[in-house]
Every structure is written in structure tokens, then in C-alpha cells.
Amino acid sequence: MNKKILIVDDDPRNIFALKLTLKARGFKIESCTMAQEAIQILDKNLGIDLVLMDMMMPEMDGYEAVKIIRKTHNIKHIPVIAVTAQAMEEDRQKCLDAGAQDYVKKPIDVDQLLNAIEKLL
């Protein structure tokens, strides 16, 4: 597939599981555990095609990070899928309002995640 995905999650176990799943399907993976670091990675223009953003992180949460991404000229076009344990309809809407293009709840349903990625890439 040759597409590169940035996984942002404060739990290394989630990153590990997502990396295994996505690499097995041909994606290239970058990852980090902090939202501020994700913005720096995106700003370096490393060819990231899509971001999987955990919404509940310390320091800067995913909502704030997505808002910054959407306001930053050279990275605002990169699709973001919100990944969160918050599963209520208003939580989904909050993710979309922040600027995410899609929403996947934890625990992650792999088929749902792959459908969301395929739709955006």
C-alpha cells in the first residue's frame, strides 16, 4: 500500500498492537506518545498520509492537537481518525467538531478501523 500512518497514543501497548495490525497490511508506521510530538513530526513533512490520534492523553489531549493540526497551514490537509474509549454519540461529535474526519472507539474493531483508513486514503 505504501501509505504512512502516524499513531499517537500515550499507552505504548496500544501503539504496539496497532503497529502489528497495520504493518501486516502493508502500511508504514511512525508513532509517538505525546500530542505535541505528533505535531512536530507532522510539521517535519515526513510523508505522513494519515493520523490515528488518541483523544485522551496527558499534557495536551487529542482534541487540542487536532485543532492545532487544522490551523497549521502545511499539515491541515492530513486526515485524522480519532481513537478513544469515549463511546457516546456526543463524544463522536466532539471529535468531529475538533477536526477529525472519523472516529473509532476502543477497544478497536480492526475491520472498522481499516474501513475508516481506506475511506480516507
Which CATH number covers residue 102?
Answer: 3.40.50.2300
Q: What are the pLDDT digits (tens) for 8-19?
A: 999 999 999 999
Q: How far is CA 114 from the centre of its chain?
A: 13
If you average pLDDT over every residue of the chain, what do you get? 95
Residue 1: is its pLDDT beyond 70?
no
CB 86 within 8 A of CB 56: yes
- pTM for this one? 0.96
**Best CA proximity match to 6, nearest among 49, 70, 43, 36:** 49
Query: pLDDT exceeding 90 applies to what percent of the chain?
Result: 90
Give me the domain span that covers residue 101.
4-120
pLDDT of residue 45: 78
| Structural domains of the chain, count | 1
**Best CA proximity match to 29, nearest among 18, 13, 42:** 18
